[in-house]
Amino acid sequence: MEKIQTKLINFIIFLSISLNLNSYESNTSEIIVDISEQRLYLLEKDIIIESFPISSSKYGEGSIVNSFKTPLGRHIIKEKIGSNVALNSIFVARINTEVKAEIISTLVDSEDDYVTSRILWLDGQEDGINRGEGVDSYSRYIYIHGTHEEGLIGKKASHGCIRMFNEDVIKLYDMVYKGTNVYIKA
């Protein structure tokens, strides 16, 4: 009986250490979205380890609800949605439809605004700027996500979210954690 208790205690200690390491890793990474450059930078301990082209809102920058603008300021990744979902899969209300989007590689702004491949749902961290009544990024469903309009990446074309190439958003998704800091600047 004593051996079983010792093994159980050792397992709990191991699990606790593992979970603490994962939360430590999440605190050393951060994302900077530079709208003027239409780029997203992933930093690890203040060193850029990845850089991706993005597409921010075609309506500009702002936080007002129903403005379709990209919010500025400090955010965190509140939720990660789409682990192991197939490349180019379309999400509706954050649910995988299991339908694959037809990728548009030319400069075409279609009538659709598909959310594809992965979702990193952002939560604003600044009261009155991107958190709270009328300006809340999380309530506005502001994501970093894949798009079927890959031909528009690098240009302002979204309806408020940060769009990425599908392969890039999958790569980023696998490198970040819930709680990762995201700073969006003009």
Q: Domains in the chain: how many in total?
A: 1
pLDDT in tens, the chain (186 residues): 556 554 544 444 444 444 444 443 446 899 999 999 999 999 999 999 999 999 999 999 999 999 999 999 999 999 999 999 999 999 999 999 999 999 999 998 888 899 999 999 999 999 999 999 999 999 999 999 999 999 999 999 999 999 999 999 999 999 999 999 999 999
**Is 172 within a domain?**
yes
Other CB atoms within a 10 A radius of the CB of residue 185 amount to 12
What was the pLDDT predicted at 33?
A: 99
Count, residues in the chain: 186
**Is 139 within a domain?**
yes
What was the pLDDT predicted at 67?
A: 98
Identify the three-state secondary structure at position 166.
helix
**Is 11 within a domain?**
no
d(CA 110, CA 53): 20
pTM (2 d.p.): 0.85
Host domain of residue 113:
29-185
d(CA 90, CA 86): 9
HEC assignment per residue over 58-113: CCCECCCCCCCCECCEEEEEEEEECCCCCCCEEEECCEEEEEECCCCCCCCCCCCC
What was the pLDDT predicted at 20?
A: 41
**Is 62 within a domain?**
yes
Q: Rounded to a whole number, what is the largest CA-CA distance in the chain?
A: 69
**Is 39 within a domain?**
yes
d(CA 127, CA 62): 14
